[in-house]
Structure 1
Amino acid sequence: MTWRCADMKLSILDQSPVPEGSTPAEALAETVSLAIEADRLGYHRFWVSEHHAARGLAGSSPEVLMAHLAAVTSRIRIGSGAVLLPYYSAYKVAENFRVLEALYPGRIDLGLGRAAGGGALAARALQENRTGGAELYELQIRDLLSYLYGAPDDEHRFAGLETSPQVSTAPELWLLGSSRDSAALAARLGTGYAYARFINSDGGSMAVRSFRSSFRPSPAASAPRALVSVFAICAETSAEADRLAASMDLSLVQLEKGHVSTGTPSVETALGYNYTPYDRFRIGDNRRRMVLGSPDEVRRQFTALIEEYQCEEIMFATLVHRYEDKLKSLRLIADVCGLHGEAGAD
């Protein structure tokens, strides 16, 4: 099958990054404004992430943020990218998302992950008074399938348990991952699969292809659906996109060195940073996870990605310092890829 730009859906992942010189409250407000604009421009989904004890990322509770985003938008699907399921009761997660689905039917996505989402101290605090953990991840997903798409059967340890509120629709269930293991799990359980190319640029197309070939239908999905997520920056020229990407370059280098997010540096801070030769190597390697360039260059790279991954949807995160540059990137991509938003959208 030949995949074209016109065939694909475009979606957004926003991690509520806190720019240098800004505050977490301002970062969350920018996420809200971005979702409103994405809805207006015709993007398909808008997902928000979960990170803990991270000074540079304000989004720690995707369910709470999702409720507000869904309230101020009208068409775009709103989702989590991702709820870190090993920290929580699957039953409670199911009820949270049933409430969201009841309020905004047909517009809610439940994206799941098992990453730490923060440092060791935060992980310990989140797991306090809980038994089990990541090793029970598959069981938790199976429980979610029961809670969201029916009820636990007679063989289940909670047979007869009802999930409130009872609604006629259910959120779309997605597994997020960056390996063949996560692809195999999504295929085995019959969920959607979102490959995080912005985390791992190697082996993703094979993971998605194996997901498709081994997919087993479930109450959550009768056929495989997949997306690939990348970092993306679009500007009027490739030189300007490259300049804006300096903020992301330094942010990723600092994250790798300290294993914590410290905020998005300005372009000026990034260009003035004293990089080591190894830092320069890491920047080059990290650039493989990004789509950068002018509108035509970004469109060509997106088209190449959907051909390589044989997927119907691209989701992207734009990590730049200035909100105005992020907004412009969003609009340029919508225009060059022919999204159909509100009449008269710029």
Structure 2
Amino acid sequence: MKVSVLDQTQLMEGMTPEDGFARTVEIARHADQVGLERYWLSEHHGSAALAGSAPEILAAYLLARTERIRIGTGGVMLTHYAPFKVAESFRVMSALAPGRVDLGIGKAPGGTHLPTILLAGGRSLEDWGPRKTDRFPEMAGELLGYLADGLPPEHPFSGHLQVSPTVREAPDVWILGTGPSSAQLAAEHGLSYAFAHFINSDEEEMAETLGLYTDGWRAAGHAGKPRTIVAMRAFVAGTDDEADWIARSALHGQFWTHRGRQVKLPPPEEALTDVQTEKERDEIEMIRRSWLIGSADTVQKRLDALTEHAPIDEVMAVSPIFDSAKQKRSLELLKEAAAGI
């Protein structure tokens, strides 16, 4: 099983955004050196804790700072943008680094309704209307047409439009999602599919969604084979106890996310001090059980169990760990755990 990274540029306590982006560059270069498959950047808006609001800019920078690893977005929230502009931006990246660019697209807002209004060019609360997520399939199809120079004949610009630059190899497009509609869209278009387990950790639903995707792909008669990624919170260390320890900071952040706040992550020794009631402790344990936490042996067993029930080609680690050296080591050990799957 291949191993990749999804980096949200999660800020730790005491970090500035500048520090956070420097950490992202450091971890991406390490992932490149140890042979991980790809490194994706997320899109979040209006957050004091997640600095990655422009993944396409960060991806372009990382392409210049790495040598082999695929770099991409996990993802571009397509309903905020004109598909034509997204196509041109990613064609430029593909010209700069042929064969190394991934374009993951999703429909989540990546923030609250106020940034969503402004991203759409609105100027007041009166501009808040129905979300454009129901247009995502249409926008995805349009984007694919621009990338392939193949707008459908019924499109008003078909045969009249040059998308620049012309590139030798287009970016590799992935559909991101957490349920059946995104899986069906990926299967329909013959695209690869990434399931966000760190958002929807219901593993029965995940297995059903991935099965729907692979069955739909084959039924459509696409060439090649379907490809799947599962993006999971992952914290791997030399022992199970050490892995529990390095996961504490992220558990602290998740505890507050459930309460509507995104916070910078504290060091493990200062994490979870607000968890006091039995109900809150049960909540943390439930979150913890859905993550990949443990030694390489423990995590390998968990991955084995997951792949028994779902077609998973690649695990993508979401691993905000306070100590950068432990974060690097966690990725190395995750690669070791996945090697035998």
1:73-92 correspondence to structure 2 within 5 Å: 73-92=66-85
Structure 2 segments unaligned to the other structure (5+ residues): none
Cα offsets for 1:293-342 (capped at 9, x unmatched): 01211222223223322221111111222222211211222345459xxx
Question: C-alpha separation between the residues in 1 aligned to 2:232 and 2:152?
Answer: 39
Contact 1:98–1:165 (Cα < 8 Å) also in 2: yes
Question: What is the identity percentage for the equivalent residue pairs of Structure 1 and Structure 2?
Answer: 39
- Change in 2 beyond 3 A, CA 1:313/1:338: closer
Q: Give the counterpart letter for 1:298 in structure 2.
A: V
Per-residue deviation, 1:275: 3.1
Q: CA deviation at 1:66?
A: 0.5
User: Of 254, 257, 264, which residue of structure 2 is paired with 1:255?
Assistant: 257
Number of corresponding residues: 329
Partner of 1:9: 2
> Which TM-score applies when normalising by structure 1?
0.90
Within 5 A, what are the aligned runs for 1:6-45?
Answer: 8-45=1-38
* Higher mean displacement: 23-32 or 323-332: 323-332
Q: How far apart, in 2, do the equivalents of 1:282 and 1:274 lie?
A: 9
Distance in 1 (CA, whole Å) between partners of 2:68 and 2:82 is 30
Give 1:324's aligned residue: 325
The residue aligned with 2:243 is: 241
Give the match's secondary structure for 1:167. coil
C-alpha deviation, 1:281, in angstroms: 2.9
336 and 184 in structure 1: CA distance in 2 versus 1, 3 angstrom threshold: closer
Aligned partner of 1:188 in structure 2 is: 188
Q: Residue 343 of structure 1 aligns with which residue?
A: none
Q: Deviations over 1:236-272 (max 9, x none)?
A: 11011112222111101101102x4221122122143
Matched, 1:61 2:54: yes
- Given that 1:199 and 1:289 are in contact with CA atoms closer than 8 Å, whether structure 2 keeps it comes out as no
SS in 1 for 2:136: helix
RMSD of equivalent CA atoms: 1.9
User: Contact (CA 8 Å) 1:53, 1:118: kept in 2 or not?
Assistant: yes
CA contact (8 A) 1:10 1:315 kept: yes
TM-score relative to the length of structure 2: 0.91
Distance 1:80 1:297 in 2: 29
Query: Equivalent residue of 2:322, what SS?
Result: coil
Cα deviation code 1:58-94 (max 9, x no counterpart) = 1111110011111111111101001000000000000
In the alignment, the residues of structure 1 paired with residue 232 and residue 162 of structure 2 have an alpha-carbon distance, to the nearest angstrom, of 38
Alignment partner of 1:94 is 2:87 = yes
Match of 2:283 in 1: 282
Contact 2:303 2:338 in 1 (8 A): no
User: How far did residue 189 of structure 1 move?
Assistant: 2.3
Tell me the equivalent position of 2:151: 152
Contact 1:19 1:322 in 2 (8 A): no
Please name the residue that 1:224 is paired with. 226
Contact 2:3/2:334, CA 8 A, preserved across alignment:
no
SS of match in other structure, 2:176: strand
